[in-house]
Structure 1
């Protein structure tokens, strides 16, 4: 590791402090960017992508006065402070693929900046060149991960698993032989390869074109297989097993094994969640019937995506902060959340169709910018 302070070009507040939704007990999250020294970047044996953990003393000495002067972060310094400092090359790579966390750093409100150096200004000036239609997939994907957690935890609250699944419950022998497992793995690999062959992964084409074709293929598969978005994978699997002419009894056993593994994973996840459950989040779930903090992240991410697609702007400091805090405090029922999520999804789809944003970043421009900054 190298000293961070001389090589760090930017640090900003992140999370609730940056969104304007911080409250009593909120952490202080810091995110930043550094340019690793040339010997580290060129080394065959030393690698650096990011630093996670406390800031080194010289860097903390620079940042601390700004934190102490910040209207909300100053009140939370006694709680917990976490930091992640990305290497410039990784950070630009994440921004180029519309990673929500990276774009939030790039578009952080200047009132929340804790440290900046001239190279950062160069990148910040070019920030809008990183906004593309990819945000539809990335922000929606992050939002759906929040919804999945909400639904899973809610199901555990309402109908907690009562016992560990057994193989017999799925019509399987109590133990499978090693040879049987090896055979199953080979067949599963063949099924996976068959499903991949229906796609375009092995065709060389521009990334923007690939994304557009994949979206149309997914829509075609849903329509052709009369499947919902969540059922497509299972229907595709059924098509692949037919194409491979697998015997019916083999398919039945494979599907039973798959369901058993899924049930075991669900059980183990429940046990982990129960043992490590955050008391504050548990209270939210007890009080409102679902994790309202996850809900605020879900709504914020989807609204951000719509704003980017419609207006070509990312508002990290949220104009709807008061409403987001109200959602966290139970303003929406679970059913209302689901309704609003679907409404936002439709808005996002419409905004993506009408958006003037490019499908992908201008790669030569991004390469030239990165080279210029790393050579500065």
Structure 2
């Protein structure tokens, strides 16, 4: 959709990112996030749209504050409802921002019902996003202390006479493996919880595609898929090669694209300070939600903005940040047990809210 059409049908646009967290510097970018409701043809016809994330510097619009801003994303209502229901941290906070440069009655109605989206799922999503920051921190730290010296070769993984399986071939086989595993447990009564985990609560398919098959699973995989032993071994070695190749490309991208000032701080401290700060912010926020059933986006209001800035300035060591994270995870486990939040959001109420919002907006 064109920028002007999205802006005309927007129900709110908020100031997020570092300004939303109260952690901005004079040179910080302005990050705008919002919600729009698509017109009739996108609901009743074949057209689809999930979000608008470009065109702010090339297309005409009605909001001058968005002109030329490349850090703007406006989500279509149904897309953001899905993300909110899944307790996505980056999206949940949009309903608790302090600054909305633009908001309509429809947007206010959504924000009025924001607590519908809070559930105990926040423990898993906030800690999951925090662990993603830790993983990036660890990757960057490894590259700082022991950078890779050369591009990986198939021969490094004992792939000599044959070609390694391509990413597409690996994913096709792992998709097949996933379907076999799911089929084998689907109708076993004693495996109901495992099946639920496999198909809903964790992205098991994603795990299969991201990590190399362990040695102790190869024989079972071979039997499940009726494959040759040499093929399964090639599969495992190809996975290892593709993982190494992915890391090599990530390393080159990191070297080429990182901010010079951030790189210098990273060199001095031995880890990526921004990832460290966001890790702690996410864990603290998740803990606060479980306790208070509210989200405090602006960390000045939460009382830890200066502490988070101290992490950004390198006043905490890598070991200290990791210990903070470990303690917060342990505390979150305890609070989760006594939290009065529901385990899952009420999907029927959320569905009714979505209908109300669309009806309030209308098709014109």
TM-score tier (shorter) = 0.7 to 0.9
On the 8 A contact 1:52/1:83 being kept in 2, the answer is yes
Q: Please say if 1:268 is aligned against 2:257.
A: no
1:330 aligns with one of 314, 324, 333: 314
In the other structure, the counterpart of 1:241 is: 221
How far did residue 334 of structure 1 move?
0.8
In the other structure, the counterpart of 2:207 is: none
In the other structure, the counterpart of 1:18 is: 20
On the 8 A contact 2:143/2:251 being kept in 1, the answer is yes
- Deviations along 1:244-292, one digit per CA (max 9) or x if unpaired, are 4877655544332322222222222222222223323212211211110
On the 8 A contact 1:27/1:81 being kept in 2, the answer is no
In the other structure, the counterpart of 1:67 is: none
Change (3 A) 1:60 1:201: farther
In the other structure, the counterpart of 1:166 is: 153
In 2: Cα distance, 1:202 partner to 1:11 partner = 48
On the 8 A contact 1:98/1:138 being kept in 2, the answer is yes
On the 8 A contact 2:211/2:239 being kept in 1, the answer is no
How far did residue 356 of structure 1 move?
1.0
Q: Report the TM-score, using the length of structure 2 for normalisation.
A: 0.82
How far did residue 60 of structure 1 move?
1.9
2-11 or 241-250, which moves further after superposition? 241-250
How far did residue 31 of structure 1 move?
0.8
- Deviations along 1:300-331, one digit per CA (max 9) or x if unpaired, are 11111111112111111112111111110012
In the other structure, the counterpart of 2:282 is: 301
1:4 aligns with one of 3, 6, 16: 6
In 1: Cα distance, 2:198 partner to 2:235 partner = 33
In the other structure, the counterpart of 1:49 is: 50
How far did residue 124 of structure 1 move?
1.0
In 1: Cα distance, 2:114 partner to 2:216 partner = 40
- Deviations along 1:58-80, one digit per CA (max 9) or x if unpaired, are 5324x58xxxxxxxxxxxx99x6
On the 8 A contact 1:11/1:114 being kept in 2, the answer is yes
Change (3 A) 1:100 1:162: same
Q: Secondary structure at the match of 1:375?
A: helix
Structural mapping, 1:330-349, within 5 Å: 330-349=314-333
2:258 aligns with one of 244, 268, 277: 277
RMSD between superposed Cα atoms in Å: 3.7
Change (3 A) 1:100 1:201: farther
Change (3 A) 1:235 1:197: farther
Q: Please say if 1:94 is aligned against 2:83.
A: yes
2:37 aligns with one of 35, 38, 49: 35
Q: Secondary structure at the match of 2:221?
A: helix
In 2: Cα distance, 1:374 partner to 1:183 partner = 42
How far did residue 27 of structure 1 move?
0.5
237-246 or 138-147, which moves further after superposition? 237-246
In 2: Cα distance, 1:215 partner to 1:93 partner = 15
How far did residue 21 of structure 1 move?
0.3
Q: Report the TM-score, using the length of structure 1 for normalisation.
A: 0.79
1:291 aligns with one of 252, 255, 272: 272
In 2: Cα distance, 1:15 partner to 1:181 partner = 34
Q: Secondary structure at the match of 1:24?
A: coil
Listed as ranges, the gaps of 5+ residues in structure 2 are 205-209
In 1: Cα distance, 2:315 partner to 2:145 partner = 20
How far did residue 332 of structure 1 move?
1.4
On the 8 A contact 2:18/2:28 being kept in 1, the answer is yes
Q: How many residues align?
A: 344
